[in-house]
A and B are shown apart, each in its own frame.
Chain A
Amino acid sequence: MGYLRAVSPFLGAIVLAFVMQFGVAPMFGAYYQKLLIDIGINIVLAVSLNLVNGFAGQFSIGHAAFMAVGGYAAGAITYYGSFHVFGDALVHHGQGDVLFLAATLVGGCVAAVAGWVVGLPSLRLKGDYLAIVTLGFGEIVRVLLQLTDDVMFKRADIEAASVGTLALALGGALGFGGLPFYTSIVWTYFFAFTLLVIAVRLKTSGEGRAFLSVRENEIAASAMGIDTTRYKVRAFVLAAFFAGIAGSLFAHEIGTTLNPRELGFQKSFDIVIMVVLGGMGSISGAVLAAIVLTLLPEFLREAASYRMIIYALLLISMMILRPQGLFGVREVWELYRRPKVSRPQVRPPGSLP
């Protein structure tokens, strides 16, 4: 009974993912189906970054770097793995999907390790300093990826090459072309819904509240026995893991090329914007912001060269007019039971009554 309760939301995630593929997607054309995948990937990115920026209150603006790490790791595995298994890098449903799943999980783990490596030393830094270090890390990743060797595409060469050689043959500045297109709506939303279950369960448990306490007041949190460094690192690692997964989804998506330039600081900024627009710490807000901000540029496509100008102006006015984001820190489902707010009566400490 208890165990059913433990896994049922995850089963629900699988079911919903299939509903998205076979119930929702057929209502749209190919163009919108790709948008649906983009939305799903952005949901994974925004909700995972929200664990760091929104839950633990750490200021990371290098999320795309973890996406790149995971994407490249997973891409290398499916691409070169496919040559070893199938003799080519085409999509082979069934076995190939298993390879893709394994590659995606490995990609997530590699990104998580990167998250740990970056997180552990840099979490000594606070606020903007941490931000600038995460950004610097992202730039280093980008440059290093740009320096990798050309992708190999001859079966004989690949089978003869060592793992080390293959791990460096990632396409350099031109990007990692030729990856098989495994990313489907099912896969995308399976990961998106799984992450949502995890995020919600985290937020409503003692462990999750420990993250939030770090955000709210680090000194008080540690005085209450919370090991703040540990929770910050956890947030970083968990978020990096899912960023890596999103990277793999992105890498194997039709119509995208895994390219270091695509995954630079601009992409990181895009994700931060989703988190802040959704309201720091609000999971549903992050989801909604991911949807809106994926669709918005599409709707503005008509406006051609004015598109990004309008986007920029919307962003600025949003920050000025609704600084707390769409829902503030709350969730959609909490909106109706607005806690009754008594007048704050904060006197400065020490002032006499």
Chain B
Amino acid sequence: MSEPLLDVSGLSLAFGGLKAVTDFSLKLHKGELQALIGPNGAGKTTIFNLLTGVYRPQQGEVRLGGRLLNGLPTHKIAASGMARTFQNIRLFGDLTVLDNVRIACHLRARAGLFSALLRTPAHVAEEAAIREKAMALLEVFSLADRHAELSRNLPYGDQRRLEIARALGTEPKVLLLDEPAAGMNPQEKVALSELITLVRHRFGVTVLLIEHDMALVMKICERITVIDHGVTIASGSPLEVQGNPAVIEAYLGAPSAEGH
């Protein structure tokens, strides 16, 4: 197989005495869709935080397209092609839906502060292009007709989808989705899983997904990694993982796995 796009090896982090993530490794090839599952508090979100530089890994390496990302600040990691959504939604609440996406698009913009203040033709053209790109993204997520609303006024499911649209605005190579279906009803979940598949092909992104809904994960993912107490307990195709006794135990041991 070719070089993995995202290559994580030996990632570890402890909060004081709590080992949140221990020796986590993962290879994500271009175009793949993998899932990260595990009971509540297993350390999944912490892994995303480590990948995106919100927390600094105490051990291990993160490479994206061969480039070492460890220790880079979050915004540089975003610039190198990693985007994410947040489990506890973090939209720019007092800004419009359109502005949320436009801010993400700003990452690929070139005109700087002075051209903005002078409204140079280059700046004007770029603003128009960004608006167009953002509207096109909103169109994909059926949010275009709500573009002028403040994002905090959106219904919950729309907020989750806006988070994905916003992440795509940064033109990522790898997209990290943290429980995008949390709190959705079954129909919404089905629609979302279709949307994820569509986005993946349309934008050519590689996706790492945290999700609790096993049915959803089984249906759309190629590979699943299961973690519990920060430790990887299984990894493989959906079928392999499903039958793994350690996984069953982890889930039976934590019947509240439907939570967050």
Contacts and interface: CB of A to CB of B under 8 A. Distances in A.
A contacts B: CB pair < 8 Å: yes
A224 B170 contact: yes
9 contacts: A5-B119, A201-B116, A217-B93, A226-B103, A227-B73, A339-B150, A341-B149, A346-B156, A353-B183
B95 A2 contact: no
B153 A342 contact: yes
Contacts of B87: 349
A221 interface: yes
Give me the 8 closest cross-chain CB pairs, A-B, nearest first: A350-B260, A225-B107, A2-B121, A216-B92, A225-B78, A205-B116, A220-B90, A222-B74
A345 B93 contact: no
Contacts of B166: 224
A206 B153 contact: no
B153 A344 contact: yes
A216 B182 contact: no
Contacts of B260: 349-350
Contacts of A348: 183
Nearest to A2: B121
A198 interface: yes
B103 A210 contact: yes
A338 B155 CA distance: 18
Interface string B100-128: 00111111010111001111110110110
Interface in A1-15: 2-3, 5-7
B124 A2 contact: yes
A226 B156 CA distance: 25
B73 A213 contact: no
B83 interface: yes
Contacts of A347: 156, 183
Nearest to A342: B153
Nearest to A224: B104
A276 to B, nearest CB: 15
Given A224-B107, A345-B156, A350-B259, A219 B90 contact: yes
B11 to A, nearest CB: 18
Contacts of A224: 75, 78, 83, 103-104, 106-107, 166-167, 169-170
A210 B92 CA distance: 11
Contacts of B121: 2-3, 6
A78 interface: no
Nearest to A209: B103
Contact of B79 (A198, A225, A340): A225
B2 interface: no
A209 B106 CA distance: 9
Contacts of B161: none
A117 B218 CA distance: 54
Given A2-B120, A206-B111, A207-B116, A225 B183 contact: no
Interface of B: 52, 54, 73-75, 78-79, 83-84, 86-96, 99, 102-107, 109, 111-113, 116-121, 123-124, 126-127, 130, 148-150, 152-156, 159, 166-167, 169-170, 179, 182-185, 258-260
A213 B84 contact: no
A240 to B, nearest CB: 15
Q: Which of A206, A228, A341 has the most CB of B within 10 A?
A: A206
Contacts of B112: 207
Contacts of A234: 113
Nearest to A5: B119
Contacts of A293: none
A213 to B, nearest CB: 5
Contact of A222 (B75, B106, B185): B75
A352 interface: yes
B106 A206 contact: yes
Contact of A220 (B86, B99, B118, B150): B86
B104 to A, nearest CB: 4
Contacts of A6: 118-121
Nearest to A206: B106
B138 to A, nearest CB: 15
A217 B179 CA distance: 19
A182 B163 CA distance: 53
B116 A223 contact: no
A202 interface: yes
Contacts of B167: 223-224
B78 to A, nearest CB: 4
A219 B92 CA distance: 10
A66 to B, nearest CB: 19
A236 to B, nearest CB: 14
A329 B94 contact: yes
B182 A350 contact: yes
Contacts of A220: 86, 90-92
A212 interface: yes
B224 to A, nearest CB: 21
A205 B127 contact: yes
A223 B155 CA distance: 23
Nearest to A226: B75
B95 A209 contact: yes
Nearest to B54: A219
B169 A213 contact: no
Given A2-B124, A350-B259, A210 B84 contact: no
Nearest to B176: A223
B48 to A, nearest CB: 10
A220 B95 CA distance: 13
A352 B116 contact: no
A29 B184 CA distance: 66
A349 B153 contact: no
